[in-house]
Structure 1
Amino acid sequence: MKITSAFDSGAIEVLSLDDPANIRLRLRKDNAADFHQWFHFRLTGAAGLPLRMVFENAATAAYADGWHGYRCVASYDRQNWFRIEGTRYHDGQLVVEHVPERDSVFYAYFEPYSYERHLDLVARAERSPQVRLRNLGLTVEGRDLDLVTVGGDAPGRMPVWIIARQHPGETMAEWFVEGLLERLLDPADPVARKLRAQAVLHIVPNMNPDGAVRGNLRTNAAGRNLNREWRAPDPVASPEVFLVRAEMERTGCGLFLDIHGDETLPYVFFSTAEEVPGFTAAAATAQARFIEAFLAASPDFQTTEGYKPGRFGEELLTLASKWVANHFGCVSLTLEMPFKDNALLPDEAVGWNGARSKRLGAAMLDPILRHVATCSQPTLDSAILQETNT
């Protein structure tokens, strides 16, 4: 019996593997910071054996409250991931009990989204004549920071910015972007066609590829939490934010969405902008209209549960969506998805997963179109005709 994690997003520390009924593990910290909660590893040679895996330092994880009601995910083929019912948090330890059916099984905190899949996603997107793929620059470790731009720079088109995975362990965020891009680039989808005709969408599928490959929970390779870097990004320690923010200054921003996952709350919700200095009545009306449209587009989304006011305190304007709301004065929201399940529409087999995140991403096109159509004035017919002819 062996445990390995020397692969893309792999992360675990093995303390003892002598007894299948008492496997002792530790959650590994981010490479340059103390955050720990993400895990992803492969266990081999244990088909049919009753396993009891104990994560000894679960109580000191970044969001220990998130273990309550959490169920580990597992896969035999790395394509189909399921939840392990025998998961519980007890006396400060996360305990996972499972009898694997095969000799090779992968366990993870949430369904992974590999860097190879990221590269496939942006390459697939670039095949569309509607897409321009750009490398904004390099990350701390020299990886490409990819920007997918959909739609041209014709006058009057609203610039829409969507970024994902500032926190690399929140893999549901890139699953969301995959679903959004697939629908947005569908030549037969009428919502996508109309949106492409009226807006230019700038999409960063993975803000933190270094952290993603390393198996970090929240930070980049330099140990920076990118979603606390927006007020004054360091071009050396947080080039990912520095580069994206500079491009946003060039293009302008009429709508901003920052896609995340929340370890604790079993809901899909927005973190909104009411606390941002300069938040106006007009901004409140536009934000409410966007939220209403998303409620209509997806029953997975709700507005009852979410973050309490004052959560971010003095850090407020270091967060992406809060800085953008203050700087550009546009609708600017952080979307949170659960690591566990959606309590409104639970799925016992898979909980919240990649496929559900993709569907939510596809549904986001509807409120984006409503926002763009409400706030923009250009006539669409000629733009749609031009796209059809090209």
Structure 2
Amino acid sequence: MGAKLALGISAAFDSGNIIVVGQEGDRFDLEIARDHESDFYQWFHFRLTGAAGRDVTLRILNAGGAAYPGGWPGYHARVSEDRQHWHQAETGYADGVLTIRHRPATNNAWFAYFAPYSMERHHDLVARMAVRPGVRHRSLGQTLDGQELDCLTVGTGAKQVWLYARQHPGETMAEWWMEGALERLTDDQDSVARALRAAATFHIVPNMNPDGSRRGHLRTNAVGVNLNREWHEPSAERSPEVLHTLAAMQESGVDFAMDVHGDEAIPHVFIAGFEGIPAWTDRQGELYHRFRDTLARRTPDFQTARGYDVAAPGKANLSMSTNQLANRFGCVAMTLEMPFKDNDDLPDPAYGWSPARSKQLAADCLATLNEMIGDI
């Protein structure tokens, strides 16, 4: 029988984030690195090697100081040995320390806050979709790190629909949702997609924050800026991603907009609207509530009882995209939130909230939109 392999942990790859601060036998003490030029941190993604058949303990010592410590109780880290299927790992949180315990079957195991969506997968998605019939691709501009801000346009209808995701790069479920939306919208045999393409033109930005995604950030871009607080006054120096996207929206107009996110603490799927904008109209509100209630009837993975507090009249934060777009364009806008934990109304002990459920939710959102696109 050969000697045990040396254990190793690394994060020097696309979206990687972890710091090894100590090791004792099969136990590692770790810390999550902060977003560059920011105090935000919570996203982690690292690789464990040499641990086949060994009971490994991974302790993230600075979890209590993360951006949303309320996200840890009831949370389970995701683990994969083939980088295709991400399962929930045994995870506990106490005294500010997140502890993951796992026995890998092989000498390679990847751990992450949620199933990752790498920039390489993003490029594959864009390339795969851009060659499908009727799909047009353009770069809206470049990020501070020099990456392209990809936009895919589908459909020929008069209604202008904008779907955009990952303003906060660690919320990877948002791009899994985008993959599901694009797959449905480009399916020539899907009657809902055919109807939507005839009624509307879809402008889809699968990843608003490529720099933060590649750098392994939770919430910010290359210079530590939270893009979803820049929509009132974006700049080339701080937030070119928003600047370029808003310019394209201004050119096309916006009738419907969905900003796709993940929430660290709330174990449910929900949407947040634009209550409190100065230019609120009852018609906007009625359509927003119609979408929300229709989606709740369509899928048990969505609910309306739990979510964020509603802003008082005239008190909406116009630096956030949903509020800014609804106020600026008079459109129906919303922020979709999916959990890092699970949907507690319909839990899945093996996978929790997952890429597959994110993609299915996208299909359900598009079917819901199809029921009301003519009235928007």
TM-score (norm 2): 0.96
Query: What runs of 5+ residues in structure 2 fail to find an aligned partner?
Result: 1-6
The residue identity in structure 2 corresponding to 1:83 is: Q
Aligned equivalent of 2:23: 17
Aligned equivalent of 2:165: 164
1:25 deviation in Å?
0.5
The residue identity in structure 2 corresponding to 1:360 is: L
Aligned equivalent of 1:98: 102
Aligned equivalent of 1:330: 331
Residue 63 (1) aligns with residue 41 (2) = no
Residue 298 (1) aligns with residue 303 (2) = no
CA distance in 2, matches of 1:302, 1:325: 22
Does structure 1 conserve the Cα–Cα contact (< 8 Å) formed by 2:168 and 2:220?
yes
Query: What runs of 5+ residues in structure 1 fail to find an aligned partner?
Result: 376-390
What are the superposed Cα offsets for residues 243-269 of structure 1, whole Å, 9 maximum, x if unpaired? 000000000000010000000001000
CA distance in 1, matches of 2:309, 2:153: 34
Does structure 2 conserve the Cα–Cα contact (< 8 Å) formed by 1:293 and 1:366?
no
What are the superposed Cα offsets for residues 106-153 of structure 1, whole Å, 9 maximum, x if unpaired? 00000000111111111111122211100111001000000100023x
1:374 deviation in Å?
2.3
What are the superposed Cα offsets for residues 6-55 of structure 1, whole Å, 9 maximum, x if unpaired? 001000010012321x3110011112211110000001111121111111
Aligned equivalent of 2:205: 204
CA distance in 2, matches of 1:122, 1:314: 38
Matches within 5 A, 1:1-390: 1-20=7-26, 22-84=27-89, 86-152=90-156, 157-310=158-311, 316-375=317-376
Does structure 1 conserve the Cα–Cα contact (< 8 Å) formed by 2:293 and 2:304?
no
Q: How many aligned positions are there?
A: 369
Does structure 2 conserve the Cα–Cα contact (< 8 Å) formed by 1:137 and 1:243?
yes
Of all paired residues, the percent bearing the same amino acid is 50
Does structure 2 conserve the Cα–Cα contact (< 8 Å) formed by 1:35 and 1:62?
yes
1:296 deviation in Å?
2.8
The residue identity in structure 1 corresponding to 2:125 is: L
CA distance in 1, matches of 2:374, 2:132: 23
| RMSD between aligned residues | 1.4
Does structure 1 conserve the Cα–Cα contact (< 8 Å) formed by 2:174 and 2:262?
yes
1:289 deviation in Å?
1.3
CA distance in 2, matches of 1:373, 1:260: 26
Moved beyond 3 Å, runs of 4+: none
1:361 deviation in Å?
0.8
Does structure 2 conserve the Cα–Cα contact (< 8 Å) formed by 1:2 and 1:17?
no
Does structure 1 conserve the Cα–Cα contact (< 8 Å) formed by 2:150 and 2:207?
yes
CA distance in 2, matches of 1:356, 1:340: 13
Aligned equivalent of 2:4: none
Does structure 2 conserve the Cα–Cα contact (< 8 Å) formed by 1:166 and 1:207?
yes
Deviates more, 1:214-223 or 1:294-303: 294-303
Does structure 1 conserve the Cα–Cα contact (< 8 Å) formed by 2:235 and 2:243?
yes
The residue identity in structure 2 corresponding to 1:81 is: W
